[in-house]
Amino acid sequence: MKTFLIKRNPDFTTHGVLVKRNVVNKEFSESRINGFPFSNKLNIGDKILVSETSYGIYAYGNVTKVDEIIEFKSVNEILNYTEKNKIKDVKYWYNLILRFKQKKENDNNPVLRFQKYFIEQKLLNRTIPFFEEIKSLKEIQNSIYEVKDLEILKSIDSFIKKPRSIKLEKFDSKIPNSLRMDLYSLFNQKYNISTWIDIDHFIPKSVGGPGNIAENLVPVGFSLNRYKSNAIPKGLFYHANKNKELKKYVKKEYLKENTPNYISNKDFKSSNEDARKIIDLVK
């Protein structure tokens, strides 16, 4: 059994986001013009490490099926295939067609080879960043790469069995990639990714809300993002009011029953300033 790293680029997806879920038969695909897809090397049972190009490994699994390679010799053949199979990944196939068309300008007989394969995908509880021991994997350009280095394989296996914790030295408004990816994995195991688009601060970054603790991060959808903006969660003032050092920054109107859950600076002129003072003291 061999071990392969596959790299996925969210830029090639329809919504710019990789769907991350535990899937019994997760479908992947490979394509190549005038050559054979790298997936042609795969065999049933091979171990797959699934990574996102920008950061690290977020899932693993074993190959359950490898389809036959399909060959396309014209744009019409590609279009017929996508129509017949009701392909939804429009952006990916559009890029394939563009590449094929450009190749055809210099080569009268280009061949696009396409192959699907499937794995039993299991999400990791903690994403494995391309850190020191495996940082060389970040430089790999191939979408599928056989990992042969035993030390790298040992490091990955060790991380899967015992994820490393990152020590928090101080609050920081920036969301670390490691934490962002971990939350993607967590939320994707429980929720449908189509309902949210990003990870964002609950207490806004603009008033000093920390980005490096999970407790202040939430999945954000388009509607919430528009509504929330830089508004302050009412709960911040509710809890601050219980502390004798912080309650002086909590105005009575912040806690009224008819006050919205997100307090806007437009409606409560000093709310952002008061929130910042509370956050500064907590830090």
pLDDT in tens, 57-106: 989 999 999 999 999 999 999 999 999 988 888 888 998 999 999 998 88
Q: CA angle, corner 194, sides to 24 and 142, nearest 5?
A: 60
Instruction: Tell whether 65 is covered by a domain.
Output: yes
Q: Are residues 157 and 206 in the same domain?
A: no
For 131-171, how does the pLDDT look when each residue is reduced to its tens digit (9 = 90+)? 778 889 988 888 999 999 999 999 999 888 887 665 555 66
Co-location of 130 and 16 in the same domain: yes
Boundary of a domain, candidates 133, 161, 189: 161
Pair 157, 23 in one domain: yes
Whether the predicted pLDDT of 224 surpasses 60: no
The per-residue pLDDT for 186 is 63
Q: Tell me the average pLDDT of the chain.
A: 81
Give the residue with greater pLDDT, 5 vs 270.
Answer: 5
The pLDDT of residue 220: 64
Same domain, 125 and 14: yes
**276 and 252 within one domain:** yes
Q: Domains in the chain: how many in total? A: 2
Do residues 11 and 59 share a domain? yes
Over range 185-200, report the average pLDDT: 59
User: Residue 227's pLDDT is what?
Assistant: 47
Q: What confidence category does residue 7 fall into, taking pLDDT thresholds of 50, 70 and 90?
A: very high
Closest CA to 60 of 138, 147, 18, 119: 119
Percent of the chain with pLDDT over 90: 34
Q: Label residue 45 left, alpha or beta by phi (over 0 means left) and psi (-120 to 50 means alpha).
A: left
The percent of the chain in helix, strand and coil, each rounded to the nearest 5, is 40, 25, 35
Evaluate whether residue 166 is within a structural domain.
Answer: no
User: For residue 169, is it within any domain?
Assistant: no
Please check the confidence at residue 222 and state whether its pLDDT lies above 50: no
Same domain, 16 and 115: yes
- Domain end marker among 128, 161, 194: 161
* Residue 168 belongs to some domain of the structure: no
Residues 71, 64: Cα–Cα separation, whole Å:
22
- 139 and 18, same structural domain? yes
Does 147 lie in the same domain as 68?
yes
More confident of the two residues 129 and 25: 25
Of 132, 161, 190, the last residue of a domain is 161
Three-state SS at 171:
coil
**Looking at the domain assignment, is residue 269 inside a domain?**
yes
Residues 22 and 130 occupy one common structural domain: yes
Residue 50 included in any domain: yes
Strand, helix or coil at 9? coil
115 Cβ partners below 8 Å, 6+ apart?
Answer: 29, 30, 31, 37, 39, 40, 66, 67, 68, 69, 70
- CA-to-CA distance for 22 and 5, rounded, in angstroms? 18
How far is the CA of 142 from the CAs of 37, 75, 131, 161, in angstroms?
A: 10, 25, 19, 27
The answer to whether 255 and 241 are in contact (CB under 8 A) is yes
What pLDDT does residue 226 have?
A: 44
CA 195 → CA 9, 89, 91, 220, 246, distances in Å? 21, 18, 20, 8, 36
Dist. CA 2–CA 42, nearest whole Å: 8
Q: Which of 44-48, 135-139, 246-250, 259-263 has the highest mean pLDDT?
A: 44-48
| Complete DSSP assignment for 102-151 | HHHHH-SS--EEEEEEEEEEEEEEEEEES-GGGGGGGG--SSEEE---HH
Q: Identify the helix (H) or strand (E) that includes residue 7.
A: strand 3-8
Same-domain check for residues 118 and 219: no
Output the pTM of the full model: 0.67
pLDDT given for residue 138 in this prediction: 86
Residue 171 domain flag: no
Together in a domain, 157 and 186: no
Query: Mean pLDDT over residues 180-190, rounded?
Result: 63
- pLDDT score of 177: 65
Domain of 254, in residue numbers: 177-282
Tell me if 209 sits within 8 A of 279, measured CB to CB. yes
Q: Is residue 167 part of a domain?
A: no
